[in-house]
Amino acid sequence: MNNTQFFIDNLPLFIPLIVLQMALMVTAVIHVLKHPNYRFGNKALWLIIVIVLQIVGPVIYFVFGRGDSE
C-alpha cells in the first residue's frame, strides 16, 4: 500500500484532526495578537510556538503562556 492510498483510506480520520488543529491555531494566534500580557516570552515567540508546533503549540500557549487579562 502506498502513501497516497493510505491517506485516502484514512481521510475520515484526518479531516477532524486537521479541522481541530486549524481551529486551535487560529484561536491561539488571535489571542496572542490581541493580548499584550504573557507569563513569559513575547508576542513573536508565542506566534512561532503556536504556528510551528501544530496542535501542541496552542495547548502550550493556553496552559503556560497566556497572561492575566486586563
Residue 50 domain boundaries: 41-70
Give a yes or no: residue 47 inside a domain: yes
Give a yes or no: residue 2 inside a domain: no
The alpha carbons of the chain give a radius of gyration, in whole angstroms, of 15
Instruction: Give the number of domains in the chain.
Output: 1
Give a yes or no: residue 60 inside a domain: yes
Give a yes or no: residue 58 inside a domain: yes
Give a yes or no: residue 7 inside a domain: no
Q: Which helix (H) or strand (E) holds 3?
A: helix 3-9
Over the stretch 24-67, which tens digit does the pLDDT of each residue have?
999 999 999 998 888 888 899 999 999 999 889 998 988 888 77
pTM of the complete model beyond 0.85 = no
Give a yes or no: residue 36 inside a domain: no
Give a yes or no: residue 64 inside a domain: yes
Helix or strand or coil: residue 38? strand
Give a yes or no: residue 12 inside a domain: no
Q: Are 41 and 8 in contact (CB under 8 A)?
A: no
Q: Are 26 and 58 in contact (CB under 8 A)?
A: no
Helix or strand or coil: residue 35? coil
